[in-house]
Amino acid sequence: MFSKLLELYPDIMITIEDMAVEKDIFCFRMSIRGIVADKGLVSIAMVKLADGKFVERWALTESVAPA
């Protein structure tokens, strides 16, 4: 999943800001830099795991102006 991002955007920086896990659901909020020249991205995602693999994913990503 992330290897393609690194190939397309070699300067990408992903920072996990918050993370929570309950049963088989993993939730995280992250900030992303290095994709959009003068903006960053923020993303909130939920991932369901089964047998150590992502089996479902829900995400919302928005672009934001730098602080």
State the Cα–Cα distance between residues 12 and 14, nearest whole angstrom: 7
Nearest to 61 by CA among 44, 40, 36, 39: 44
Contact yes or no for 33/12 (Cβ under 8 A): yes
Mind listing the pLDDT tens digit for each residue in 1-53?
678 878 888 888 999 999 999 999 999 999 988 887 778 889 999 999 999 89
Assessment of whether the complete model's pTM goes beyond 0.75 = no
CATH code of the domain occupying 2-64:
3.10.450.50
> Smallest Cα–Cα separation from 34: which of 16, 6, 9, 3?
9
pLDDT at residue 19, rounded to an integer? 96
Domain ranges in the chain are: 2-64
Rounded to an integer, what distance in angstroms lies between the CA atom of residue 46 and that of residue 27? 4
